[in-house]
Chain A
Amino acid sequence: MSSETSGVGVGADDAEMKRGPLGRWVDKAIKNPDRVYRAMFYVATVFFLVTTLFPFYWLLVLALTPNRLITNMGLLPKGFQPEVFITMFERVPFHLFMFNSFVLGISTTVIVLLIASLAGYVFGRLRFPGKSILMLGILAISYFPPAAFLIPLFELFTGNTALSIGAVTISSPDLFNTPAPMVLPFSALFLPLSIFILTTFYGQIPDGLEDAARVEGTTRLGALFRVIVPLSAPGVATAGVLTFIAVYNEFFFSFLMNNGEASSWAPIVAGILKYQGQFDTPFNLMAAASIVGVLPVAVLVIIAQERIVSGLTAGALKE
């Protein structure tokens, strides 16, 4: 009690002062700083969870509310209409758009991983003059705004560009409404990141393992795909998942390089926009389609995260 009368609380830890719940909490936190860190962790986690998950909740609210009631929305759905998840497939063949997205995503990922593996091997494991400049150049590509390429690429992929060699004139093929005009720019734009990731991973594999594989009977390429890539599985998975998600989310080329029909390899972007008619905008259907579209990626991330975290321990090596 003496400390209360003197007005000096700090340091007089035997004193029992009259404090509110916050004052007691602070007092305990000073004695046990772990409490503060834990509290900060919870605050940060809750903040991130709210900012990332609230949009999904909002989508769900919109999807479940019948379209005619979507005005002045609150935090709760103004109705309950789960049939929307069936209607959305009846109105538009959304599964076909999703299939297109998958094909685009997977083929881009395969191309990117193949080329980035070769590049990553070269940058990570070989020594040659001009390496860092070349690497910088590749990274610089990823800073280019895709819009800068749009017009020339559009001209090229629609067959409006011709190359004359002497008397022979070769016109570029018309690839509009095929996967190529999307997959090619995607691959080019997303390669630098994957090259960068794989370079770091491949560079860490000890030379001895590659030498051993080569003496045992592989070529350099064989050693890359039989030893270096499997041992860099976390890196390859990371690069692959990031590429797939980036393609799946891509809007610009996905929207412009086709006529928006499922038969023309248009991805989910076109699918969602397709619900919009001339006279109505069914927000509930679009929200439902968005949720369905997000699900595969969410599942992929959960699976891949396991893979990335588990990794492979390189225990058989004494360095």
Chain B
Amino acid sequence: MGDVKLEHVSKHYDDVTAVDDMNLEINDGEFICLVGPSGCGKSTTMEMIAGLTIPSEGKVFIGDREVTNLPPKDRGVAMVFQNIALFPHMDVYDNISFGLRLRNYDKEEIDRRVERASEIVQLGGMLERMPDEMSGGQRQRVAIARAIVRNPDVFLMDEPLANLDAKLRVHMRTELQRLHKELDTTIVYVTHDQAEAMTMSDRIAVIDSGQLQQIDPPLVCYNEPANLFVAGFIGSPSMNFLDGEITENGFVSTNIDVEFDPANVGVEVGRDVTMGIRPEDVYLVQNERQVANPTHRIEATTDVLEPMGDEIFVYLKLAEEAHADLEEASVAANDQLLMSVSPDSDIEEDRDVEVVLDRTRVHLFDTETGIALSHGIESTIQASGPADAEAESDD
């Protein structure tokens, strides 16, 4: 019933392409987040599902019907808007029952449904209030009640929490998840906040410049990002990226070398690659035992510390490694590395430290295209021994 399918959907405005050949399949009952930076086309995608925007090319299906050119009212969708969009001249009851009254439901049925919807979103006793007499969270709940009262096949939510304060947002996040469990209806949720997307959804569709980058469950997007954009967008703080090159000994850059046998990883020698490593996969040498398969030690100086309470973010300045074989000093921004350590770590600013990386969590991307080449380079355990020794003698 509530599955949504976009087939080669594009939207062009004059000379701007908002959405470019989008293919998306959303299953019935799924909670899916469209996530991306502002202006990436996620809202346009949602508007095309809702019918508020007609695609320039491609087809939209809801259930087994093609709805590409149907007006919004005939699509069986309900929508919650970023600006809440309650009708200011109607009280809560009239707002919630607006769609039902348009469809000529009888009075008792409307009463019953409004009653039930307002119970679900905990709005009992507020049905006579006007929108301007309510707080932001209450208005948002009215908007949600207005959406659920019609039992739509698909819910569309366009950044519904963006205008709420931080505390209320977290609260409404759990309420929405509870609501999804209760109603078991397809929810398409647009957000620019990757944390929201990670916590709520069954699958995340990461969109950038109008193109779908990856659609996968949150942890897959986190652990196996399909490309550089997804790797950088999902996760906070962002993944570390280091530009370098593949040699027979593995990854080589101006500041960090990681030894492995390129053949085992399936990357050809001489290719320009970007290595990605998340802050939590960088370890201090004294914690090396926590890592099953560490790289060799990397020298660095601590720069700035950001204690967050449950962890400390450490900005490391990397020492430059001398490389005869690396012709161009590729990128200057290579000398920084962000590490997260537990709050009880003995660490201070401006100290020389040594760190190791978790080999299983090292990502390699093609620098030019951004496409992921490998997630983890563990397959070189045997070869790493002598290579390590070589590298150390180089230093």
Instruction: Tell me the A residues contacting B by CB distance below 8 Å.
Output: 206, 208-209, 211-219, 222, 227, 230-231, 312-319
Contact = CB atoms under 8 A, between A and B. Distances in A.
A307 B311 CA distance: 60
A215 B72 CA distance: 5
Interface residues of B, number: 33
A218 B100 CA distance: 11
A218 B81 contact: no
A317 B73 contact: no
B62 to A, nearest CB: 13
9 contacts: A209-B85, A212-B86, A217-B102, A218-B73, A231-B88, A313-B88, A315-B88, A317-B83, A318-B163
Nearest to A209: B85
Interface stretch (B128-136, B213-221, B244-252, B366-374): B128-136
Nearest to B53: A211
Contact of B52 (A214, A218, A314, A319): A214
Contacts of A216: 73, 78, 98-99, 102, 146, 150
Contact of B82 (A208, A219, A316): A208
Interface string B218-244: 000000000000000000000000000
A84 B100 CA distance: 58
The 3 tightest CB contacts between A and B, nearest first, are: A315-B132, A316-B131, A208-B85
Contact of A209 (B52, B72, B87): B87
Contacts of B79: 211-212, 215
Given A208-B82, A317-B83, A215 B50 contact: yes
A316 B86 contact: yes
Given A217-B102, A315-B132, A212 B85 contact: yes
Contacts of A215: 50-52, 72-73, 77-79, 156
A208 B79 CA distance: 11
B71 interface: yes
B83 A206 contact: yes
Given A316-B130, A316-B139, A211 B85 contact: yes
B87 A213 contact: yes
- Most chain B beta carbons < 10 A, residue from A206, A315, A319: A315
B83 A312 contact: no
Contacts of B112: none
B81 A212 contact: yes
B188 interface: no
B190 to A, nearest CB: 14
B84 interface: yes
A268 B150 CA distance: 54
A217 B99 contact: yes
A317 B81 CA distance: 11
Contacts of A219: 71, 73
Contacts of A312: 88-89
Contact of A208 (B50, B73, B83, B103): B83
B87 A214 contact: no
Interface in B31-73: 47, 50-52, 71-73
Contacts of B102: 216-218, 222
Contacts of A208: 81-85
A257 B52 CA distance: 48
Contact of A316 (B50, B71, B73, B87): B87
Given A313-B132, A315-B131, A315-B132, A214 B88 contact: no
Given A212-B81, A316-B134, 4 more contacts: A209-B85, A211-B81, A216-B73, A219-B73
Contacts of B131: 315-316
B11 to A, nearest CB: 15
Contacts of B103: 217
Contacts of B51: 214-215
A218 B101 CA distance: 11
Contacts of A206: 83, 85
Contacts of B139: 316
A209 B143 CA distance: 12
A231 B82 contact: no
Contact of B83 (A213, A214, A218, A319): A319
A79 to B, nearest CB: 54
Nearest to A227: B87
Contacts of B132: 313, 315-316
B83 to A, nearest CB: 5
A312 B89 CA distance: 8
A219 B84 CA distance: 20
A211 to B, nearest CB: 5
Interface string B310-329: 00000000000000000000
Contacts of B82: 208
Contacts of A315: 88, 130-132
A227 B102 CA distance: 13
Nearest to A208: B85
Contacts of B81: 208, 211-212
A318 B87 contact: no
B53 to A, nearest CB: 10
Residue among A208, A211, A312, A315 with most chain B CB within 10 A: A211
Nearest to B81: A208
Given A209-B85, A213-B87, A318 B73 contact: no
A278 B137 CA distance: 77
A208 B156 CA distance: 14
Contacts of B78: 215-216
A211 B52 CA distance: 7
A80 B71 CA distance: 69
A209 B79 CA distance: 11
Contacts of B89: 230-231, 312
- Name the residue in A209, A216, A219, A312 with the highest tally of chain B Cβ atoms < 10 Å from its Cβ: A216
